[in-house]
Structure 1
């Protein structure tokens, strides 16, 4: 492709790029993994603008200043689009760009008035001089001195014949060779170096026709010729790439749907796979519309017309071969900028049939694994319920109230874990749990289990829509189980009514879980580290497992009842 094409991940690290990109930016093969796409955008503000557009709209297109590895800045037009997988997750982005720098040659306005003539000559970028009939320089503008490296003193010793390479020096032949002749010459500078110039001279005569001297105006075209040579070399390279790049199908279309160029891969594809003879000027859309394998994709053909209006596009298209085999192609369309009013688009496509089959196989395998994982959580939940049932059966044979209480508490903890596995197998997303939904069921069950006729306890909840990973949901659920059950058992002794508040929120990336009550408060001298209760020990151990902070308040801290606040960093759900 004549365009620079590069793919990078969502951190900006380069993944793939074509030869045009490598040549344009000077990227050395093998070093791309250490380079970030943002390095190629000269202005940091423009870099942020491109990145914000990818995050917000998944697409950016516009003119910005590029920066080569050498530090050189140039103008380019880029189109960047986010690449996503079948689930809509961003995998990275692909950018297509082109150098739009135009080298402009400025010509001095030599038709100014006589009063401004000297100023124009002195400030002209052209090499301007006047010589006498013998060839000595009588005037040279600053550009002459700058480009040829002479001083006024050294120039006084030099003739025109010494400056122009292979120039006649005898008699007046040099005047005839320059007079009214426009062509390229090689000038020799003060150090013997050569400068390629383009221009001409005109002889000055008196009334009798005698030569008074010669004026010359010449443009330094050394760099221009150098760039022309480089451009020809580059054009030859790009033409070679266009015609020999493996697997890439390339062609261009005019605004009237006529093929204006194509590579050998395009010809082979159309003739061998689809039985279509290809020639310049033939219609593309009308030929390809009959090959589309799925009628629902016919609308994709309008994207070719949209691209002709200046909007780059990329899409997938299924085509049926002459043998009836369905083939998938990913097609990239980019407008071609030209100086005239005509418009064209470049089209790059490649066969993604194998990738489509792999994607299909992956989706099937993923579905099978989801079913298996769902079954695992179902069986874990059932096994936990069996253990709970065994404990219930065991209680019927136990007379010791203390042991019965231990079995009840153990059953409550097992139920807490069972609810989590039940939540997982009932949903398709096994990576996270709706913790608020889970707590609603857990707390309601605890209120029902520990309610007594002596005291009416009201449960108040303040749940945000919080999701936790399995690693954080289980210990968090067990902590809530211990705190709520402790509040229900001990907070309202001697009271007719009471309130338990359960709050869950996510603030600045941290999860906050608070269990509070308006009961009698914690006992005097309460120290969590010195308690021998298994429930309180579990709270401490699970808090450490979560790497969480635990804040305890009671009546002595100026509040009614008690409050336990746990906060920890939320794990990444991806």
Structure 2
């Protein structure tokens, strides 16, 4: 807006002398003046867009429209202050002026100083009205385009204004809400809270934020978070309340779902029969379940914030501290420790530590601690029983081996006292079978292993004992090819008997008289379930008519029984000697 020295006044006066006098006075006061003589001329002048800051308008302009009508026409297309000049002071004229003018009128006889004062007052009123109008437009724009509902109520809760967003969020048209009491839209369970808010706003000039449910047009409820303050009149009395409200339904539902989820999680975590916790990088407890409180006798809220070495005795912490460092380095860790519980009883525990990563960095770790005292005691008892069993089995094997040695010695003495060759051979075969079984018990006793035996050592020793028993000259040579393998002792017994019988028969019958030659023993694993045994000699060979299935000899009958026990099979090759396979 221009200063007074630059403001342009349009003077509309049909009396040229008056017009001249007033124009000169106004110019002397620093105004620019444009003089016109009729209402029509003024309307056209203003409509043309000509510069003008105020119109000083005579009401009675002779022929044509008067000043009031001219002002009304101008108001249709331009907002400009108008001050009326009139020589009349009758009631009708004054009423017409009051209806048309917002900036006053002056009786011509009042004098130039009064006219000047009225002009300045009109400028101030116009500037104030413009500022107020711009402010109203600004706040209306904010209210109508805000993401919150802007509302105004009187002190009784009657709705004066509701921004257009209420239509979008609640379905209620703002015009339909106007005049309604807002309390009818509140959920009945929230009215106590809202009444308390209204009481506070009436008593104190504070800003209050609160949440509640608001009934929508379809009958459902929406959660709103509202910030309110009171409005006061010029005398300081409470005129009403202005509020800003936002839809928090999604947030409330998410918080409700989160709370339910947390309650379920706490139920699960507190129901786990273990000590469950989360520990940060400083080895400080962030969360512990109820089991910690029961174990340590300290409220779990007091445990949160403590470090591990503050909660545990120094010795217990030192025994497991390396595992905590391992978890903080990003590795899973499992450890066992012992610690006293609330009663002072020593308990064995097993801990599982799982590192927690955020953006590739270890932020802490989860711990799951189980009380394994009962398991440990049961384990120790089992180990004790097993040790006792091992000692017992070892003693049994030792005694069986010694008893078999005694039997072998007795058979040897019996054989040495006999003259009948057939009887001597029979006792010698029996002694060889005893020695075969005794070798297995000797290995079991010496190795401390009661189910599995290294086959190569056993067969090599067995072949050497058979050779020293039956071969009395260098005419017969025994060679062997035995693969390293581990066999169950239950399988080794029948296999040893088979090797004993076939090798003994080869030594006794393949090289009669002065005949010389060799015997080759081959024992190899074919696959995980099968072992192949081959005993081949280059001696006299067996008669073509001999079949193992029809043999009546004790040795081959024993071989056949052992093979059936093992679910095995046997073949005889009679070319170039004899091979049992």
TM-score normalised by length of structure 1: 0.55
Greater relative contact order: 1 or 2 (C-alpha under 8 angstroms, separation 6 or more)?
Answer: 1
Instruction: Kindly state the Cα deviation for residue 170 of structure 1 after the two structures are TM-superposed.
Output: 9.1
SS of corresponding position for 2:408? helix
1:329 aligns with 2:353: no
Q: 2:499 aligns with which of 480, 490, 507?
A: 480
Query: In the alignment, does 2:390 pair up with 1:390?
Result: no
371-380 or 338-347, larger mean C-alpha shift: 338-347
Query: Per the alignment, do residues 268 and 169 of structure 1 end up closer, same or farther by CA in structure 2, a change over 3 Å counting?
Result: closer
Matching residue of 1:562: 578
Q: Which runs of 5+ in 2 are unaligned?
A: 1-166, 179-212, 225-248
Residue aligning to 1:300? 320
| Shift in alpha-carbon separation, 1:516–1:399, aligned structure 2, 3 A | same
1:335–1:345 CA contact under 8 A, matched in 2 = yes
> In 2 relative to 1, CA 226–311 (structure 1 residues): closer, same or farther, beyond 3 Å?
farther
The correspondence of residues 29-428 of structure 1 with structure 2, limited to 5 A, is 167-168=171-172, 230-246=257-273, 248-271=274-297, 278-285=302-309, 287-288=311-312, 290-292=314-316, 298=318, 300-319=320-339, 326-338=346-358, 343-428=363-448
CA-CA distance at 1:341 after TM superposition? 6.6
Q: Do structure 1's residue 430 and structure 2's residue 434 form an aligned pair?
A: no
TM-score by length of 2: 0.54
1:345 is displaced (CA, Å) by 1.3
Partners of 2:173 and 2:254 lie apart in 1 by 33
Give the distance between the partners of 1:428 and 1:530, measured in 2 at CA. Answer: 42
For residues 306-334 of structure 1, give each alpha carbon's deviation from its aligned partner in whole angstroms, at most 9, with x where no partner exists.
Answer: 21233222211123568875432111111
**Deviation sequence 1:377-405 (CA, Å, 0-9, x none):** 22222222232233223324432211211
Does the 8 A contact of 2:172 with 2:216 survive in 1? no
Where 2:449 maps in the other structure, the secondary structure is coil
Are 1:271 and 1:278, in contact at CA under 8 Å, matched by a contact in 2? no
Distance 1:338 1:185 in 2: 41
Larger radius of gyration: 2
Distance 2:360 2:411 in 1: 87
- Other structure's SS at 2:282 match: coil
Distance 1:386 1:187, change over 3 A: farther
Could you tell me how far 1:253 is from its partner in structure 2?
Answer: 0.8
Contact kept in structure 1, 2:285 and 2:307, CA below 8 Å? yes
**Higher helix residue share:** 2
In structure 2, the CA distance between the partners of 1:553 and 1:232, relative to structure 1 (3 Å rule), is farther
Whole-Å Cα distance in 1 between the matches of residues 457 and 441 of structure 2? 13
Q: Who is 2:554 aligned against?
A: 534
1:487, distance to aligned residue in structure 2 (A): 1.2
1:470 maps onto 2:494 in alignment: no
Report the CA distance between 1:474 and its aligned residue. Answer: 1.0
* 1:209-228 CA distance string (max 9 Å, x none): xxxxxxxxxxxx99x99887
**Alignment coverage as a number of residue pairs:** 360
Q: Secondary structure at the match of 1:524?
A: coil
Aligned mates of 2:381, 2:329 — CA distance in 1: 38
Would the aligned equivalents of 2:456 and 2:485 in 1 still touch at CA under 8 Å? yes
CA RMSD of aligned residues (A): 4.1
- SS of 2:539 mapped into structure 1: coil
Cα 1:408–1:500 shift into 2, 3 Å: same
Q: Partners of 2:321 and 2:288 in 1: how far apart?
A: 19
Contact 1:270 1:278 in 2 (8 A): no
Contact 2:451–2:489 (8 Å) recurs in 1: yes
In 1, Cα distance between the equivalents of 2:253 and 2:388?
A: 63
Retained in 2: the 8 A contact 1:515–1:564? yes
Whole-Å Cα distance in 2 between the matches of residues 263 and 446 of structure 1?
72
Pick which of 254-263 and 458-467 moved more. Answer: 458-467
* Counterpart-to-counterpart distance in 2, 1:465 and 1:227: 69
Q: 1:270 to 1:506 in 2, by over 3 A?
A: farther
Distance verdict in 2 for CA 1:373–1:166, change over 3 Å = same
Q: Deviations over 1:27-46 (max 9, x none)?
A: xxxxxxxxxxxxxxxxxxxx
